[in-house]
Chain A
Amino acid sequence: QKEVEQDPGPLSVPEGAIVSLNCTYSNSAFQYFMWYRQYSRKGPELLMYTYSSGNKEDGRFTAQVDKSSKYISLFIRDSQPSDSATYLCAMRKAGTALIFGKGTTLSVSS
């Protein structure tokens, strides 16, 4: 089993839809959970991070971590065409490298 699993999609939604992106992981020692967004032909950029379990909200974006289920989610409300990108989950524990999921490609149509 890979350390981090993420459905690559692609995921296509109409503008205004609520989008749910998810990752599962196997290493219970992971403490830091991140979502990176990568536009086509660009480098990834950090969107949100969460430490341990819980929710975090930033504008239209909400990140959730459920450590008991080893499951993390990113919700995008009122999705916009500008949200079209690949979303990569990433996680780590202190002292180790960041492990990325394979990324989910999202397309929001107007």
Chain B
Amino acid sequence: DTAVSQTPKYLVTQMGNDKSIKCEQNLGHDTMYWYKQDSKKFLKIMFSYNNKELIINETVPNRFSPKSPDKAHLNLHINSLELGDSAVYFCASSQGERDLPDTQYFGPGTRLTVL
């Protein structure tokens, strides 16, 4: 029974295209996240949503736009893809601040390659 799922698992696309990655969690968590992991395995937060509201927005180009239709889903849309966007994107979820240390559960990742 998958806790945090992402689609697609792999995404290969040309520079300049627009693409979306979807994330769903069935843990009943209030908070969801998007992380980017570069080729050196450095994991950095991009966005965080709590109950469909944006609470963390790190310094990310505005070509990246998260959307949360409900608290179980958080999608990531990327416009005008660039070579530097190639990375693995992880979705995660957690109970939020009311349950510290706020353990985050990660999805399997989406490996994006921009050609």
Contact = CB atoms under 8 A, between A and B. Distances in A.
Decide whether A and B are members of one complex: yes
Interface stretch (B11-19, B38-46, B71-79): B38-46
A29 B78 CA distance: 34
Nearest to A96: B56
Contacts, number: 54
A38 B41 CA distance: 10
B101 interface: yes
Given A32-B100, A41-B109, A97 B40 contact: no
Q: Which of B92, B103, B108 is most buried by chain A, counting CB atoms within 10 A of its CB?
A: B103
A89 B40 CA distance: 15
A8 B43 contact: no
Interface residues of A, number: 23
A49 B90 contact: no
Contact of A42 (B43, B97, B100, B109): B109
B86 interface: no
A98 B109 contact: no
B1 to A, nearest CB: 16
B109 A100 contact: no
A34 B42 CA distance: 16
Interface string B33-63: 0000000111111001000000010100000
B104 interface: yes
Contacts of B108: 42-43
A46 to B, nearest CB: 5
A77 B41 CA distance: 25
Interface in A87-110: 88, 92, 94-95, 97-98, 100, 102-103, 105
Given A42-B109, A43-B106, A44-B90, A49 B101 contact: yes
Given A43-B4, A46-B104, A49-B103, 4 more contacts: A34-B101, A100-B44, A102-B42, A105-B41
Closest 7 CB pairs of A and B: A43-B106, A32-B101, A100-B43, A103-B41, A97-B45, A102-B42, A44-B106
